[in-house]
Structure 1
């Protein structure tokens, strides 16, 4: 018998109970990792992309554990006061958990961690609201895709999309063509949705995914050390809207 397509009624009490149980499980998981590893690092991410964070997880899967997002849950797990902290000194780290940040647990020595994250950077496409890192001017002639090698012109069937995004193109031998140069974006100015989409279409990457180390907690001493120069520039810190698998892997 076919299943009914009618909407099912879900009890809000069940949803609330499940959410509470999930938070409790996540808190327990954070505390288990506090007990397991030598160091707990607090980090933030510039140009957050879930795909790049998964690369970090994969590269460190045998020697670290990462939790990202749900800052209130992480802070509560660590303990925000000396009386509540899970281990000595953790409340100092917990008080710094604001915005889109994560916890990185590892036994690797601090200098190794600092050097690794300083080197790990992944270029990516900008989004609406990001600041243009450079001025991009499309020259007169065929509109080219720069990500291909060698660059190729856009096919004729993509001309309507290019025009919708603000390019004044005409068709020349079946190729979308600009009669005059077009300034796509200007360095230092905020990108619109149309500009960000055009930059992606032509293959122009303007932001860099990187992890900024903020501070480190040492299990042996309970000391929390601030990391000089570790923070990500504010213009590169984005709202995390694509990391729904959130806390850990």
Structure 2
């Protein structure tokens, strides 16, 4: 009997060792950043987009270092309690690491971070489950932005379409989405085809720490 190529033995010992080494290295890197950078910020991300976050990291790579995710490892590096914190008041930073969040170590001033980084945002297309920001209703009539070949796809997405002399048309009014309601997969696709963006990528800063003044909570949600 031919042995399946999928039936391969995996050494769990090696996997665990590699994972442990990665955690130890991250702890060391975080502590090095505490010593090197002037300011530390806790942040969350509204409407996470990996490519957008990469752009932010690249933009501030000369002045800052970002860590995102792995809250427990970050908390261990900073210290979970007053008795084991790496520097004064860092246990309060650890206590604030809840949900999807990260750390930004930076030599930028607090004012610069809150004025520039926190205010920088980018519109993007909404995804499945995102909440519709407004009600979108398309009136009966021609949809001249679409080629005739798109008509079957639009109809498949639930739009009441037909071809009228080679032009895609709605034969009745069509509500794409309703404000306040979560978007379905079809609704998200339709909004993208219509080039309507309802999502906004943004860093939201929850707290700030510096060695002399310690930790303080922030509110940059507005």
TM-score (norm 2): 0.91
The residue correspondences of 1:156-235 to structure 2 (distance < 5 A) are 156-221=148-213, 223-227=214-218, 229-231=219-221
Is 171-180 or 205-214 further displaced after alignment?
171-180
Q: RMSD of the alignment, in Å?
A: 1.8
Q: Distance in 1 between matches of 2:93 and 2:146?
A: 50
Q: How far does residue 118 in structure 1 lie from its aligned partner after superposition?
A: 3.7
8 Å Cα contact 1:42-1:104 kept in structure 2: yes
What is the rounded CA distance, in whole Å, between the counterparts of 2:181 and 2:120 in structure 1? 26
* C-alpha contact 1:140 1:181 (8 A) present in aligned 2: yes
Q: How many residues are aligned here?
A: 219
Give the structure, 1 or 2, with the largest relative contact order (CA under 8 Å, sep 6 or more): 1
Distance 1:161 1:36, change over 3 A: same
Is the aligned partner of 1:20 residue 2:20? yes
In structure 2, the gaps of 5 or more residues are none
Hey, which bits of structure 1, 4+ residues long, moved more than 6 A? none
Classify the secondary structure of the residue corresponding to 1:119.
coil
The farther-off stretch of 92-101 and 135-144 is 135-144
The answer for unaligned runs of 5 or more in structure 1 is: 145-152, 233-249
Q: Deviations over 1:180-238 (max 9, x none)?
A: 121100111111121112111211100111111100011234x10111x3248xxxxxx
Compute the displacement of 1:165 (Å). 1.6
Matches within 5 A, 1:1-249: 6-7=5-6, 8-143=8-143, 153-221=145-213, 223-227=214-218, 229-231=219-221
**Displacement of 1:41 after TM fit?**
0.3
CA deviations on 1:75-117 (whole Å, 9 max, x unpaired) are 1211111122111110001100011101011121111111013
Deviation at 1:140, TM superposition (A): 2.1
Normalised TM-score (structure 1): 0.82
The answer to whether the 8 Å contact 1:125/1:199 transfers is yes
Structure showing greater radius of gyration is 2
Once the 2 structures are TM-superposed, how far is the Cα of residue 54 of structure 1 from its aligned partner? 1.4
